[in-house]
Amino acid sequence: MFAKAFRVKSNTAIKGSDRRKLRNDVAATFPTLTSEQLSEIVPNKEELNIIKLYAHKGDALTVYANGRIPVLFEMEKRLYPTVYTLWSHPHLLPAFSTWPPVLHKLAGGADLMLPGVVVPSYGLPQVDRGTLCAITLVGNSAPVAIGIATMSSAEMVAAGMKGKGFTVLHTYMDHLWEFGDKSCPPTIVPLEAEPSEMMDAEEEEQEAGEGEGKSQENSHPIDPCLQTGIRNLNMEDAIQSVDMTEKEEPNENGAAETTEEDNLDVPQEAEDSRSPQEQMDALLHQCFFHALKCKVKKSELPLLTSTFLRNYMFACCPQGQQLDIKKSSYKKFSKFLQSMQQQNILQVKELNKGVESIVNVDWRHESIRSFVVPIEIAASELSVQDSRSGDGEQPYHCPEITPLYGISSRMAPLFQESGYNFIKVDPILCDCLLDKSEQDEISKLTWDNLLSRCLDKLQPFHQVTFFGHDPIVRKGNNDPIDINIAQRSCNKKVTIIKNLELYGLDPQAVANFLQLKVQASATVTTLPGAKDRAQVQVQGNQIHHLAKLLVEDYQIPRKYIKGLEMAPKMGRKK
């Protein structure tokens, strides 16, 4: 559902009566919630927004957000929790586990097939067809996706754990998750069935004849032969079963072979003799050098250390793994950077009080030069680039803008009857180009004067051609992207950007980019006097970052951007 980008229609604060109605709806949908848990999801006084949006297929959806964190979404008058909500309430929905490598397939829009479901020793949870379920990864009870069961637990067992098991609606790392703070799933140790409970169940089965059937009906135990086969099912089969839900390609067999080779590394990881702390240290160093060598540019320095960690190092973390500095020997990111600074790899300074930034990187350092990006990560990054240039989202192309002139009724006779070859003022030229006070005085015109007078009398139009679309002709002159600096209370400045839609840019996407880039508040509001237009407002003077985004990244000519000259003057670096 959220594997591709969506378009925000509106974002408004929810009112008191609507808040009470939402609370009642949540209580009715999830009756196991206590009053305290209900208040956490739908708070009484904290900010709660209702966001109307359209998915990539045109489906209308409603998202409820607590601040910037989406907590619920509504589709076809049914409420669903997001992964952020399930991380705080992991037992809200019945949960089914799958292998970690399957996650990136689910985030790409695939459904979960039954061969990818890991069956625990105590059997499957009891669910009916159409039940909303959580999907977790082996070894962690924090849900990473939600989906609707396509069959009951009994039907899953009867089918030999084959076929489509769940229609996935929302996952960790999809666009709805990106709408929040992009935090990672917590580590929640799975709760296995108590041995005493299992022994009691076995005794009850042995004592009660008729009760045996009822017990089986409630717990759905797996046939021993079938269970052994499922337990020994490797991740290669699970991923191949997920691939069945995706669009078939000519090289389907080749893709299956690649998946098989990739998954041969999984048992090796399980046999790693290093301690968990040593493995986390290795992952931390890998993400650090990968980010410095392939992601960070010299022009982006100085770079906030928090931004470097969030936007660069986390992005370099391999699929199925989680970078957790607290589990490393460094415990804190500042201590890790201090260690790297002692090795003269980079230089960190406190440019503002309490805020550290990376001010210099020695890209010639042997540790950076000798680092090689793991082949599986390089392949995954290449596949992402291919998907963006293929069936996925198209990269942005600046539209072609051509000035045009429209012929008014007064100028029509000039073009209908006489053509362009004029130098002597005849009655048509006199009526079209000369004012009444000039008609008796001017009998001849130079070509330059004739042309300038002619253009002044024509109506301005312009033609806009977006990549892959037919040209659009609009009346009037082309409005540039308008950037302005406004003064607010306490001498605070804000940057206001207008007319982004005229150039095919999504104001919400620009606001999200700036918010992450400059670590400042960014909002999108309706442009006064224009219901179908929006403006972006960002705290501080952010014209330098806007210029880089619009001119360098989007390749929009400077003549179509107004206000770049108001960028703050850059002081000399100390």
Residue 224's pLDDT band, with cuts at 50, 70 and 90, is very low
Residue 232's pLDDT band, with cuts at 50, 70 and 90, is very low
Tell me: do 468 and 499 sit in the same domain.
Answer: no
Q: Is residue 249 part of a domain?
A: no
Tell me: do 54 and 122 sit in the same domain.
Answer: yes
Least confidently predicted of 127-131, 176-180, 338-342: 176-180
- Nearest to residue 539, comparing CAs of 475, 493, 490, 489? 493
The residue from 353, 381, 409 where one domain ends is 381
For 515-530, the pLDDT digits (tens) are 888 888 888 888 877 7
What is the rounded distance in angstroms from the CA atom of residue 271 to the CA atom of residue 266? Answer: 9
Structure tokens at 525: 């509001």
Tell me: do 444 and 492 sit in the same domain.
Answer: no
How buried is residue 145: exposed, middle or buried, by Cβ count under 10 Å (0-12/13-18/19+)? buried
CATH value at residue 500:
3.30.780.10
Q: Is residue 343 part of a domain?
A: yes
- DSSP secondary structure, 481-537, as one string: EEEEEEE-GGG-EEEEEE--GGGT--HHHHHHHHHHHH-S-EEEEEPTT-TT-EEEE
For residue 452, give its domain range: 400-475
pLDDT for residue 256: 38
What ranges make up the beta strands (E) of 126-202?
132-137, 140-149, 164-171
What ranges make up the beta strands (E) of 375-491?
400-406, 459-465, 472-475, 481-487
CATH value at residue 46:
3.10.400.20
Q: Is residue 490 part of a domain?
A: yes
| Better-predicted residue by pLDDT, 442 or 95 | 95
Tell me: do 292 and 336 sit in the same domain.
Answer: yes
Tell me: do 127 and 142 sit in the same domain.
Answer: yes
pLDDT at residue 158 greater than cutoff 90? no
CATH value at residue 361:
1.10.10
The residue from 132, 164, 179 where one domain ends is 179
- Nearest to residue 134, comparing CAs of 30, 239, 240, 243? 30
In Å, how far from its chain's centre is CA 445? 61
| pTM across the whole model | 0.41
- Tell me the β-bridge partners of 8: 53
Q: Is residue 293 part of a domain?
A: yes
Percent of the chain topping pLDDT 90: 21
pLDDT at residue 223 greater than cutoff 80? no
Number of domains in the chain: 4
The 8-class DSSP code of residue 178 comes to H
- Nearest to residue 127, comparing CAs of 164, 166, 99? 166
Tell me: do 460 and 485 sit in the same domain.
Answer: no
| Better-predicted residue by pLDDT, 253 or 539 | 539
Structure tokens at 325: 């500095």
For 338-383, the pLDDT digits (tens) are 999 999 999 999 887 778 889 999 988 888 888 877 755 655 554 4
pLDDT for residue 175: 84
For 264-303, the pLDDT digits (tens) are 343 344 456 788 888 899 899 999 998 898 888 887 888 8
Tell me: do 429 and 512 sit in the same domain.
Answer: no
pLDDT for residue 137: 92
Mean pLDDT score across all residues of the chain:
77
Structure tokens at 241: 């079963």
